[in-house]
Homo-oligomer: A and B are copies of this chain.
């Protein structure tokens, strides 16, 4: 047995210490890699947004007959000369017109029959965007935001992919202050808390929530208050990304 994509043809070379050794020729490796053992590779993106105090996810209508009435994630095949991550960003740009976002790889899904067109392995990514800042410019295939609580029965294995990404998001949001990308530049603590409650699916104590965030010391009071609220307006804050970047090393998460 051998490795790194084996073949039976070898070339003899001299090693550092003067003895000889058999190695596989590059030509052989290339033919091996380029021949039978190939699969189609795709990327699927789970794009989360936040609107009206609900966590949303961007879905598109499948136009495959088999899944004619079902929703699906934003996905496409990876080009042979394209990095996976590059493909993920391309797909998001194509489908939503956005290029300024956070994107994290989550998992590869590769069950043999997950796609009716043949073997397609897909790499799932998720992203968080601010719904208000990124109005959708393209609405092909009924692209739009769905409440995450109501996502069910997606096409292909997209339900599983969605759920895996949602769990990952819930975990990440406790490890890093990602959520700020979903809020307006200036936000009230109530908005921030609504966001965390929506993502985590739990209620949090208001006083303790405030205490925790102030203790982190990444919020900057911008000296303004909410307008157009039918009650006492709350102060507005900004997130100090620079300070967060500087503190990142010693950061190990938020505990709720």
Q: Residues of A at under 8 Å CB distance from B?
A: 1-6, 11, 13, 15-16, 21-26, 29-30, 32-34, 36-42, 60-69, 72, 74-85, 94-95, 105, 107-108, 110-112, 115-121, 123, 138, 140-141, 155-156
Chain A to chain B: the 5 pairs with minimum beta-carbon distance, closest first: A29-B117, A84-B110, A33-B117, A38-B38, A23-B65
The residue from B36, B66, B76 contacting A26, defined by CB atoms under 8 A apart: B66
A140 touches B1 (CB 8 A): yes
B37 touches A78 (CB 8 A): yes
Q: Which residue of B lies closest to A37 (CB)?
A: B77
State whether A63 and B2 are in contact (beta carbons under 8 Å apart), knowing that A40-B38, A41-B37, A83-B110 are contacts in the complex: yes
Given A33-B118, A33-B119, 13 further pairs, Cβ under 8 A: A3-B95, A5-B77, A5-B120, A15-B68, A15-B69, A24-B63, A24-B65, A25-B65, A29-B116, A33-B117, A37-B40, A41-B110, A84-B110
Number of copies: 2
A108 touches B108 (CB 8 A): yes
Cβ contacts A to B, 27 pairs, < 8 Å: A1-B138, A1-B140, A1-B141, A3-B61, A3-B62, A3-B72, A3-B76, A3-B141, A5-B77, A13-B68, A15-B68, A21-B68, A22-B63, A23-B64, A29-B117, A32-B77, A33-B120, A36-B80, A37-B77, A38-B38, A39-B39, A39-B78, A39-B80, A81-B119, A82-B112, A105-B107, A108-B123
| CB neighbours of A22 from chain B (8 A) | 63
For residue A45, give the distance in angstroms from its CB to the closest CB of chain B: 11
| CB neighbours of A63 from chain B (8 A) | 2-4, 6, 22-24
